[in-house]
Amino acid sequence: MRIARLRPGPAERHVPLPGAVVLRALDGQPAARICPEASSERRYTSGQSELLAWYVSGRVFRKEDGQEVTPGLELARTAIESPERFVEQFWGHYRVIVHDRWCATTLVLCDPCGHCPTYYRFCRDGAVHVAANPASIADARPAFNSDALKSFLVHGDVGRVQCALHDVERLPLGHALWIPERGAPKTHVVWWPSWRQRGDANGAGEAASGKGLLGLLRRSAERCLGDKPAVLELSGGVESTSLALALAESGRAGNCTAVNHCDPASPSSDKSHHADSVARHVRMAFERFDIEHGAFSPPATIPRLARPALHVCMLAQLDALRERLTSYRDHRLVNGHGGNAIFLASPPDGALLDAFADGQWRRGFGAWRDLAVMQRLPLWWVLQRAFVQLRQRHADPLAAQASDLLTAAACDGLAEGIEPLAQAWLAQWSLRIRPGKRAQILRTLGNLRDIEVYPSLAASGTVFPFLTQPVVEAGFAMPTYRLFNAIYNRLPLRRAAYLASGLPNLWQRDKGMMTGIVGADVAANLPHVEEVCLEGYCAASGWIDRDACRRAIGRIAHHHLESMATIRRLYAVEMFVRGWRQDAGQHRAAPA
């Protein structure tokens, strides 16, 4: 993919980044200025030889044996010779930047799963500025990419755009960036995991049965944590329970604490009894937090994110949780985010067509029946929805339903686009008749993109073992129609955890939607929600019908939630803009 803005772009600078690591060409001119991460946990090494100048941060592991690789010149040489082979042989949380001093080309490569998001912009002398945080290289009051904001408002994601700031780029998931001496930089895909099980059908059934899955999760958690103690967000559900069992199997339960948080005003959200039973089973310390701040409570500060995110409606609650976790200053937070998307909760209707495409006729008819039972829908409705998913292009296909809250200006000029990695995979792989696998890939890539905007709740950072490269690749290799059965989803993960523990709560049915809690929170913070949504960037841009939005917010406060998804996306866009303009005191935003 060719970068739209040629060098030097609108981000022309003359002053080098303060404290930056500089990679220099043969003539001594800077080829790349790299802003190291503020966290001391992210170690980096840099240097130069006659041929290469290199910078490596983070940790890199071999796939075959899990051993950590010492970052240095050899690792940098492997990356620039073949980024595809590098991603195939190694995984981890890393960022590799190499400048070939003889060819005058620069390679930027990071973890394809997005655990080390990389942002960059170019300056007039040809050097690239690279940072882990967009605020390190962006202007104090940047211009916003209106196409990205409109796409999020309409579809719930920013499409092909990687960063909603106009003059800052982000390296897409699974891509490498090549910067030649002259001309436009280019990105190309370097991550091509297998989307089907290698080997025979017996091997596929063994993988989907859960055998070895918990061990894979344990190894990923061990590599993510390193020598740090852990704080596990334990809800008692399938994903967090599996992580608790994996930590116990690795012998870390003794120096790990499980925490469960809930809103005391909402007893239905309290699942601490499940979490407590799991913690006692694995002999792990347990602590329950009562967080009183509900959704849409006014936050004290707004983070500067690279793009809008739906969790900004929970900023006040997350700030309260971060304060409660200050006593675990030396711990890393372990989160089970991502397991739902990889192991399909809830299963897509198109999974039955996946079975038919593989010639698994009995599996196909069984999946058809199971989906009808799960959703309590007639069989022909399930089949109709399965064929609709053949054209799915977004992680949440229901997000872009027509809404009378948005004006025609919100959709004018809005290009239809998806994540570049998903577009490359769907074009290269024969997935046109496998809508279930398509839905799994889109959901998982949506969760991988969430890593860059996930709030930092612990001083030592948050790790997501489910979203590491080995677990994602193992999930993609599993046939979608083997990931659920009867009335249970995430079947391989449930079986693996049950065989290791025997805990009966793993087979509890899924929780219902707790949307009534959100309606009550909107009612409690009605002036704040109206002021944010109706007096901000979108209203000034003419993208929303203010009167219709005011009525919709009032209906949500009275628990009529048909417009909840659109209002939540509108709130996310406005809070994103405020996060970048709060220092200037510009809360009433005008379109750029």
Helices 435-450 + 420-428 axis angle, to 10: 160
Q: What is the 3-state secondary structure (H, E, C) of 79-137?
A: HHHCHHHHHHHEEEEEEEEEEECCCCEEEEEECCCCCCCCEEEECCCCCEEEECCHHHC
pLDDT value at residue 41? 57
pLDDT value at residue 202? 53
Residue 54: how many other CB atoms lie within 10 Å: 25
CA–CA separation, 371 and 382 (whole Å): 7
Domain ranges for the chain, please list them: 21-144+164-189, 195-404+416-510, 515-581
For domain 21-144+164-189, which CATH number applies: 3.60.20.10, 3.40.50.1000, 3.10.20.30, 1.20.1050.10?
Answer: 3.60.20.10
CATH class of 195-404+416-510: alpha beta
CA–CA separation, 307 and 158 (whole Å): 8
pLDDT value at residue 502? 85
pLDDT value at residue 588? 35
CA–CA separation, 187 and 108 (whole Å): 9
CA dihedral 495, 499, 503, 505 (to 10 degrees): 10
pLDDT in tens, the chain (592 residues): 334 333 444 444 445 677 788 888 888 888 888 887 766 556 788 888 888 999 999 999 999 888 999 888 899 999 999 999 999 999 999 999 999 998 889 999 999 999 999 999 887 766 788 888 898 888 888 899 888 899 899 888 887 888 999 888 999 999 999 988 877 889 999 999 998 876 545 555 555 566 689 999 999 999 999 888 999 999 888 999 999 999 999 988 888 999 988 877 766 667 788 888 899 999 999 999 888 777 898 998 899 999 999 889 889 988 988 898 988 888 999 999 999 999 998 899 999 999 999 999 999 999 999 999 988 999 999 999 999 888 877 666 655 555 788 888 888 877 667 889 998 998 888 887 899 999 999 999 999 998 888 888 888 889 999 999 999 999 999 999 999 988 889 999 999 999 888 888 777 655 444 455 677 888 889 999 999 999 999 999 999 999 999 999 999 988 888 888 899 999 999 999 999 988 644 433 333 3
Sign of CA pseudo-dihedral 456, 459, 461, 462? negative
CA–CA separation, 357 and 376 (whole Å): 25
Place of tokens 């996310």: 572
pLDDT value at residue 585? 41
Contacts of 326 (CB under 8 A, 6+ apart): 459
pLDDT value at residue 3? 42
SS3 252: coil
pLDDT value at residue 46? 87
Contacts of 313 (CB under 8 A, 6+ apart): 295, 296, 568, 571, 572, 575
pLDDT value at residue 224? 92
pLDDT value at residue 66? 87
